[in-house]
Every structure is written in structure tokens, then in C-alpha cells.
A = this chain, B = another copy of it.
Amino acid sequence: MSLFVQKYGGTSVGTVERIESVAEKVIKFREQGHDMVVVVSAMSGETNRLIGLANQIQENPDSREMDVLVSTGEQVTIALLCMALKKRGYDARSYTGTQVKILTDSAHTKARIQDIDVSNMRADLDAGRVVVVAGFQGVDEHGNITTLGRGGSDTTGVALAAALKADECQIYTDVDGVYTTDPRVCEGARRLDKITFEEMLEMASQGSKVLQIRAVEFAGKYNVPLRVLHSFQDGPGTLITLDEDFSDMEQPVVSGIAFNRDEAKVTVAGVPDTPGVAARILAPIGAANIEIDVIVQNASADGTTDITFTVHRNDLEKAKTVLGKVCADVNAREVIADDKIAKVSIVGVGMRSHAGVASKMFDALAEDNINIQMITTSEIKIAVIIDERYLELAVRSLHKAFGLEAIEN
């Protein structure tokens, strides 16, 4: 007998019929003798409906009240799921974030979990009840309702699994697992049976949207085995665990190819090459709350240098405004912006122990005449910035070059 925490997203509970299907699924596990804690999101569309009401009043409404408003979405779902379970003769009890209680800081709309009181849930599990918890929400020390930010229901699931020392946290989604890359871009994309937290984290931060980064971080930190599954199809999904769980010597060097089109590139060209100049350029960007991803600095012969970095496309205009001023301050020649770029990354813990991964990647791209504009690496990832037009081609080439079609599941 195991303890499972299952999380069902908005699409999985989007109608009363689907909530009833979720109840059936939960009961299947219950019948196998497992203890069940179920975390649910708001019914799809509901959060947007509530935000729409608020926006009729004001574009940026008070964040405390925003949390009071949107937290009702999950509260509706927990009640309906418990009704569906009880109708089928299974005892169940719903919990809001306040009722659990999931203690967070007071950063409304983006609160962080500080502590989870498991006593009520534990008592219910001991009494044979299914515990149903509203995802995405908590309560601060003053009793104010907080939310963890959109997608925070994954984090709720993992945090509950960690606090309850669950055997597995199962995230039910609209895909049947984590893929070597996006099947819509690359036909040969294949579902992975297993992937490490580290790899999943790189995949997520490089653009794979299957799981929230924060939930993966949390799962890694507390070593909560995480499984991604399809809500309406049977299948083993993808298990995300610690490195050491991989005893398979045949583990491939690269596990997956991630990509995104969300970034834009900015170059401050002809900067006098003096110590501290990079900091003088980047500090105002940070001060303007613009996040920087890849940074490259090219030293040059004529005593000037070019500093290039990428930001989120939504921040490009703001970045250009900030840099216009900085450019004059540091006597740079000009600011060049390009939002027609894409980032492609290869990710794999196997890269640690395998040489020649980078050159294989660059060879594959060169063979297709794809120019690499920027490169950044970590221990288990190599990311390149390329012209957006070549994105799909690059993903397919790399997928093939690293033999990902051939992974046996």
C-alpha cells in the first residue's frame, strides 16, 4: 500500500463529466489499497473568467483581493470532486489552502510555501478518506488567502507529497509523458520512461511546458518521485527521479531537445573595453526587473567590445529604452535588437561523462547550414541561439544526430 498525491489540471476537471472521470480514476487507485491525496486546479476557463471580472474594475487590481477572488476557482472544484467521490460511496473531504493549512509568505499572487500542516490530512487518510486539496493557494500567518501564481497547482502537489512523504506525486496533464522533444515539431519524438530532476529542470527552463519549473525544483530538493501522466489515457507516463535511480548503462548521452521562441537578442556594440563595463550595462537592466538569459561578450582588437544578451520578447522594448540611456553613458556605438531568434538546447545527464557532445551538436547544425549566433552551456545542457526560421530544422537534425528516435521505451 502506497500513498499517492495526484494532481489534475484545469483541463482534466474542465466539466462536471470530467470531474466524475477523475473520481473514477482516483477510486481505481483507492481500490488497489492506496492512500490518496488529490490536488485540483480550477475548472478550465474559470480563472480567466474571474480575472475578467476583476479587470472590468481595474487593470491591476489589489493583489490581496485578487487572491481572495481567484482562489474560489479551486474551491469549487474540490467540492465537486468530493461530491462525485461520495456519490460513488467513497468517503472524501475537501480542503482549501487555509484549511490544510498551507502556510505561505504574504507575497500575494506569487506566494511561496513555508510550511504544511499535515495533521488533518493524516487523520483523514487514517480514517480511510480521500483527501482533496485546492491547488495553487495557501494562507499567510495573518489568515490572508494567498496564491502561488498560475500553474502553482503542480507546486502544491509536490509540496504535499514532500510533507506527507508520499511514495509518488503524479501530475495528470494533457500529454502522456515527457518527450524527447515536441512531437509537433519532430515526428520522431518519443516518450521517455525516466528522466532526472536536473534534466527535467533544464528541459522546463529551456522551453518544455510539461511541468512548472518551480514544481520540479521542489521535487528535486525534497526527492519526491514525480510522474507525468495523461488524464484520460492509460499509460506509464514519465517518471522523474534522482540521478542514482538510473542504473541503465545504456542511458543515452542526450535525453531531450528543448526549444523556445520567447527570447529576443540585444547587442550593445562598440563598447570601450574597460573593466566593469559589462556590469555598468547590465545593472540598469536588472534594476528594471528585466531577466537576462544568455550573455556573450566578444573581446576585440580595436579596444572595443560587443556585449550581447537575450531577454524575454515582452521585455525587448523596455530593454531598448533602458539601453538607449546606458549606451550614451558608456560611450557605446549602438544598440542592435533582434527578436527573430530562437533557442535550441540539448539536455542530458550523460553529457557529464561523454566528450564531444558539443562538437557533435555544432556539426549537425553546420551540416544544415544553420548559423550559431550565441552559445551557452551548463554541465548537462548546451543551448544555442539561432535564426528563428531554422528552429524546426535544427530540432529535427539534433534529434536525429543524438539518436533519440532509437531510444527503447
The answer, among B56, B64, B66, B82, for a CB contact under 8 Å with A65, is B82
A75 is an interface residue with CB less than 8 A from chain B? yes
CB closest chain-B residue, reference A75 = B72
**Chain A interface residue bracket vs B:** 35 or more
In the complex, which residues of chain B have a beta carbon less than 8 angstroms from the beta carbon of A82? 62, 65, 68
> Which of A83-91, A240-248, A289-297, A341-349 faces chain B?
A83-91
CB closest chain-B residue, reference A99 = B143
- A69 touching B61, Cβ below 8 Å: no
Q: How far is the CB of A138 from chain B (nearest CB, A)?
A: 14
- A72 touching B68, Cβ below 8 Å: no
Task: Find the residue from A50, A53, A66 having the highest chain B CB count within 10 A.
Answer: A53
- B68 touching A86, Cβ below 8 Å: no
Contact residues of A between 73 and 102, Cβ < 8 Å to B: 75-76, 78-80, 82-84, 86-87, 93-94, 96, 98-99
In the complex, which residues of chain B have a beta carbon less than 8 angstroms from the beta carbon of A50? 76
Given A62-B83, A69-B76, A79-B65, A53–B94 Cβ distance below 8 Å? no
In the complex, which residues of chain B have a beta carbon less than 8 angstroms from the beta carbon of A57? 16, 19-20, 80, 83-84, 87
Contact residues of A between 46 and 62, Cβ < 8 Å to B: 50, 53-54, 56-58, 61-62
Q: In the complex, A20→B57 CA distance in Å?
A: 8
- B143 touching A56, Cβ below 8 Å: no
- A83 touching B98, Cβ below 8 Å: no
Task: Find the residue from A62, A93, A144 having the highest chain B CB count within 10 A.
Answer: A62
In the complex, which residues of chain B have a beta carbon less than 8 angstroms from the beta carbon of A78? 65, 68
Q: How far is the CB of A263 from chain B (nearest CB, A)?
A: 34
- B83 touching A58, Cβ below 8 Å: yes
In the complex, which residues of chain B have a beta carbon less than 8 angstroms from the beta carbon of A16? 53, 56-57
Q: How far is the CB of A238 from chain B (nearest CB, A)?
A: 32
13 residue pairs from A and B, CB less than 8 Å apart: A16-B56, A54-B83, A58-B83, A61-B86, A64-B93, A68-B79, A68-B96, A69-B79, A69-B80, A69-B83, A96-B145, A99-B143, A99-B145
| Interface set of A (CB-CB < 8 Å, partner B) | 16, 19-20, 50, 53-54, 56-58, 61-62, 64-66, 68-69, 71-72, 75-76, 78-80, 82-84, 86-87, 93-94, 96, 98-99, 120, 143-145
Given A57-B80, A65-B78, A98-B98, 19 other A-B contacts at CB below 8 A?
A: A16-B53, A16-B56, A50-B76, A54-B79, A54-B83, A57-B87, A58-B86, A61-B87, A62-B82, A62-B83, A66-B79, A66-B83, A68-B78, A69-B80, A69-B83, A71-B75, A72-B72, A75-B75, A98-B143
Q: Which 3 A-B pairs have the closest CB atoms?
A: A69-B79, A72-B72, A68-B79
